[in-house]
Amino acid sequence: MPKVGIEVIRRKSLIEATVDAIHERGFCDVTVAQIAKRAGVSPALAHHYFGSKDQLLAATMGHLLKDLSDGVRQRLAKAETPRERISAIIDGNFAPAQFRPSVIAAWLAFYAQARTTRSSQRILRIYSSRLRSNLTFNLRSFMSREQALSVAEGTASIIDGAWIRQALSDGPSDRDTAIAMVEDYVETQIRQHAGENPENGTAGSRKIQ
């Protein structure tokens, strides 16, 4: 097997081990050596690939963010109306592969590290900006730009809040309830602002199933 192939496999193993280790021990208590052992590589090799534990977390978050973005894009490709695209964005942010205990724990650690780590701050800005931009673009079909920006911010906040609440919960992840909560907020806002701005209409809107 070519060296490039081996490196890709080892990096992926370290990223997966990071997610599992954070879920089991928490970010503060886990060490690079423990992550490396779980991944089946030496600590020296883990440091060679990623440098510090903070850099390993940033790489893990970058990987998870790419998976999340890919999932959203796949759902958007099947959506035909602005309202369907909003639902696709919401559903993608609670994808089963993402909204599970180990990944939720990793994201919570990422948010905490983003306060002090520049690489994590950059990844978080990319995620937040992309989410707000996608929501705003599609919400513009139902309301003014200023209103769409405000509703997009509110929607993003509810999505983030659902993740944090789940991270602090002892129960199993419940994506259906989380999605319904966000959808209810969006639907309420669309109806309210469509009434304030009759020229926008309500074409493409749908009730929550």
User: Residues 144, 178: one domain?
Assistant: yes
User: Residues 69, 125: one domain?
Assistant: yes
131 closest CA partner among 86, 172, 175: 86
Give the per-residue pLDDT at 203. 41
The string of DSSP codes covering 4-20 is: HHHHHHHHHHHHHHHHH
First-to-last C-alpha distance (Å) of the chain: 49
Structural domain boundaries, residue 24: 1-51
Give the per-residue pLDDT at 199. 57
Phi then psi for residue 188, to 5 deg, are -60, -45
Write the CATH number for 104: 1.10.357.10
Give the per-residue pLDDT at 4. 53
User: Residues 110, 120: one domain?
Assistant: yes
pTM score of the predicted model: 0.83
* Position 204 in a domain: no
User: Residues 36, 110: one domain?
Assistant: no
What does the pLDDT profile of the chain (209 residues) look like in tens digits? Answer: 445 588 888 999 999 999 999 988 888 889 999 999 999 999 999 999 998 888 898 889 889 999 999 999 999 999 999 999 999 999 999 999 999 989 998 888 888 878 887 877 888 888 899 999 999 999 999 999 999 999 999 999 999 999 988 888 877 889 999 999 999 999 999 999 976 765 554 444 443 33
